[in-house]
Amino acid sequence: MHVRSLDAPMISPPRKLYVTLAGLPLSFELKWPFHRSTSGADFFVLHGDIRVEATDGLHAPVAVNLTQTVREVLLSLEPGDTEGPVINALRKEADTRQLEFLKSPKLLPIAFSSRHYDFKRNKWSFGHAGEEELARFLRRKVFWHERLAAGKCWLTDPVDLLYLESDAQRVLAAAGTMTHLFAIDGEHAAATPALLQQSEEIEGEMKRALEALDQKHAFERG
pTM for this structure?
0.86
**CA–CA dist 70, 123 (Å, integer):** 11
List C-alpha distances in Å: 149 to 42, 53, 75, 167, 190. Answer: 38, 10, 31, 24, 11
Supply the pLDDT for residue 205: 95
Residues 32 and 93 in one domain: yes
- Residue 64 forms beta bridges with which residues? 46, 110
The answer to whether residue 8 sits within a structural domain is: no
Task: Point out the domain boundary residue: 124, 151, 167.
Answer: 124
Residues 81 and 162 in one domain: no
Supply the pLDDT for residue 166: 95
**Helical spans, DSSP H, in 18-119:** 68-71, 79-95
- Residue numbers of the domain that contains 114: 16-124
Task: Decide if pLDDT at 195 tops 90.
Answer: yes
Residues 27 and 82 in one domain: yes
Asked if 197 and 180 touch (Cβ cutoff 8 Å), the reply is: no
Return the higher-pLDDT residue of 29 and 3: 29
3-state helix, strand, coil in the chain (%, to 5): 40, 25, 35
Task: Give the number of domains in the chain.
Answer: 2
User: How does pLDDT run across 30-55, given as a tens digit for each residue?
Assistant: 999 999 887 766 789 999 999 999 99
User: How does pLDDT run across 113-172, given as a tens digit for each residue?
Assistant: 888 888 988 999 998 999 999 999 999 999 999 999 877 899 999 999 999 999 999 999
**CA–CA dist 175, 152 (Å, integer):** 14
Residue 32: which residues within 8 A CB-CB, separation 6 or more? 10, 12, 46, 79
Residues 30 and 105 in one domain: yes
